[in-house]
Structure 1
Amino acid sequence: MTPLRFYREVVAELRKVIYPGRTELITYVVVVLVFVSVMTAIVASLDFGLTKLVLQIFG
């Protein structure tokens, strides 16, 4: 495959992409931020709880 053919195929595939509009993009960003915040809170609380438990058992 020549570099020129590769470039043409990449451009052809990029033309097929449907990019989200402004409102969709904002919605996606908010969903991701909320999800990451919730997962961070869960992991942090598990870490805190397990740390307290280990310190009570071994500490």
Structure 2
Amino acid sequence: MSTSSTATDSGAGSDAQGPKKGNIFARFFLYVRQVIDEMRKVVWPTRNELVQYTIVVVIFLCIVMAYIIGVDEVFKRLVSWLFSE
């Protein structure tokens, strides 16, 4: 509540903005280096896991596709029946 805390708060605000930005090439290479570091942390699936996940996704997509085709067919017949008279 004193003026010293206000001065400290305003000083902390300028520090909270982060370090000075470098030129565009330095920022780009920093970004690439950080991406590479994060990619090293990724746990990649094994071949068997990848095959299993792919099969599950394909089966799920086939089920959803069949459902949508069924609903579309029902609506098509319903609209055809309603407007055929």
Same fold, judged at TM 0.5 (above): yes
Query: Which consecutive residues of structure 2, in runs of 5 or more, have no partner in the other structure?
Result: 1-20, 22-26
Q: Does 1:42 align with 2:67?
A: yes
Query: Paired residues, what number?
Result: 59
Q: Flag the structure with more relative contact order, 1 or 2, with Cα contacts below 8 A and sequence separation at least 6.
A: 2
* Structure with max Cα Rg: 2
| Residue matched to 2:83 | 58
Structural mapping, 1:1-59, within 5 Å: 2-59=27-84
The alignment's TM-score, normalised by the length of structure 1, stands at 0.95
Q: Which runs of 4+ in 1 moved over 3 A?
A: none
Query: Which consecutive residues of structure 1, in runs of 5 or more, have no partner in the other structure?
Result: none
The alignment's TM-score, normalised by the length of structure 2, stands at 0.67
